[in-house]
Structure 1
Amino acid sequence: MVYQAADSRYATMKYNRTGRSGLLLPAISLGLWHNFGGVDVYENGLAMLRRAFDLGITHFDLANNYGPPAGSAETMFGRVLKSDFAPYRDEMIISTKAGYYMWEGPYGEWGSKKYLVSSLDQSLKRMGLDYVDIFYHHRPDPNTPLEETIGALDLIVRQGKALYVGVSNYKAEEMARAIEIANGLGTPLLIHQPSYSMLNRWIEDGLQDVLEQNGVGSIVFSPLAQGMLSDKYLNGIPQDSRAGGSSVFLSEKNLTPELVDKLRQLNEVAAGRGQSLAQMALAWVLRGGRVTSALIGASRVSQVEDSVAALNNLEFSPEELAEIETILKG
């Protein structure tokens, strides 16, 4: 059956301007870090992508190494682009990244011009695209001069392989210098992609100020702290959960009794707002307009739907914010 996007797809989604640019991003974006690789069920990923677009999620975020195996998420997305999304390409923001290990030898990771240009060429082939909307340097490179890395991003835009460029995981001082270099080249950095959640607030210590002062947007990943900010772990650790499995990003030792107690208290605050804990966590990172978009992951369609429903209540009273702070600091 030929896919036809919902006529109502733009009826309720909220779109935010990305820094000082013309680009609007949906408040909720979908990342393909997990559950869209070659080891995953294609039909499930297809259903999530279709439902996301029908709900107004126009931004799909990938990276060269997403899978597993590495590269397979881009291959999967390319297949969907060809079969379902081709008529809607100009309505979509498609991003990818390079920076982590991708192939053997000295040019298979980090931030050299050689690696970044080669990696994007490979990504475009896997997805069947002439260009991506956003291309990111995925992580700072301690050895390659920042001028070379940012210069490669400038080159990629001038080659027409990306409309915009950004970075991910840069700290405040690194970001300020990257912005300066990019502005000097005439290709401003559009966006930064850092981790951020109620349990991980490092970007509040300077980075957000740098972004605002320079008109750079932000899209935050892991807004649910790898699923800890959900109802999944309020009553033990399910065996099929990330913490109950072999994830290198979340393990049972992260879920201390003290943290679980905080999660239960936060869940009560969320219930008072008419939200799940996950929905409140998404609303919280979007509070005040300092974050352009919250980047979610999903393993089933209902998670996409629940995340988008968080936009039904983005406002926090001073009392709610104070109560959340008290719980987090307790």
Structure 2
Amino acid sequence: MKSQNILLLIEVPQHQHGGTTYINNIIYSRLKNDKRFLFYIVNFSANVSEVSKFSIQKIIRNFKIIAKSWFIFFINKPVKVYLPLSATKFGIVRDFLLILPSVLFGGKKILHLHGFTYFKIYKESLLYRTILRVLDINSVYIGLCERQRLLVDSNFKKKTFVLYNTLNEDFYFKIKKKEKNKKKINLLYISNISKGKGQVDLINSVKHLNNIKLTLAGTLLNESKEFMDKFNKLIINNKDKIDYIGYADELMKMELFKKNDIFCMPSKLEEGSPVVIIEAMAHGLPIIAINKGCINEMIEGCGCIIDVFDELKFKIALEYVVSNYDILSKNCINNFNNKYKQDTFIKNFKDILTHC
């Protein structure tokens, strides 16, 4: 096998509504034929339902993947290894084992952060903190935005490059101006359905408002019976205003962006840089969201940030967005074109990998 300069260890499973593996698929599809890069696909979870779950079969599969990564490393002797870093205790142990040859034999490590839970677990877990300090040796980080870069600087004391996320441009309509529906305000949410994602808060925020239609799309994750009963009851009791359509593939998502006016992101989780917000901006949909992760930086001039989704605060935010719709929509499209185009992402990603 021909020697390669840079080894990329990434997961590229079938895309669900979610960020890291979506970006990995773009990286792989754009760079797999570039002779400077060698890819090893490390699909630790067979599907989204396996994420964060324990099983003997999963452990055996993970060890087989790790063993093969060592073999590939020693055969190819890469000068650098790229790895999207896990933000869980089990995941960081797995990542450490995966990249161990580079740790032992001095190769440079490029660690990509895709969220904000790293900093909490770094402070709370001695195991995580110890492993990360070992991985820190001869490493650089890639962050999603300036806020994350500053947090890495203050917590990890390491050099960090900012790389804005991007989207699969095969599946979006290139538009210059978004026209808002004049009769009814059409709101859209696309992401996984779970308690932490805040769909219940969003529904409660809009169910008493007039001239509103809310469409929810996403996979219903395994949640408590209490949450699932509450979610289903809200959908049934508000079917005149709320439409839950389940999982939406890429083509269906594009139709949803085309038909709706405003995108809502009520997540209470430590989000990173949600790809779905980039998709919304590409289609000219202003955004109403909670300030989590990179979201405030992402939608500056493109929508409205609120600290919690409730009826009063959402109504105020909605009035602001509707009153300033044309300029906010135009800002969304310009923001996407200036910061989140795929060619820009790939150029910056290659520059980081080759010159860091």
**TM-score bucket of the superposed structures, by smaller chain:** 0.3 to 0.5
Rg bigger for which structure?
Answer: 2
The structure that is helix-richer by fraction is 2
Q: Which has the higher contact order (CA 8 A, sep 6+)?
A: 1
Provide TM-score, normalisation by structure 1. 0.38
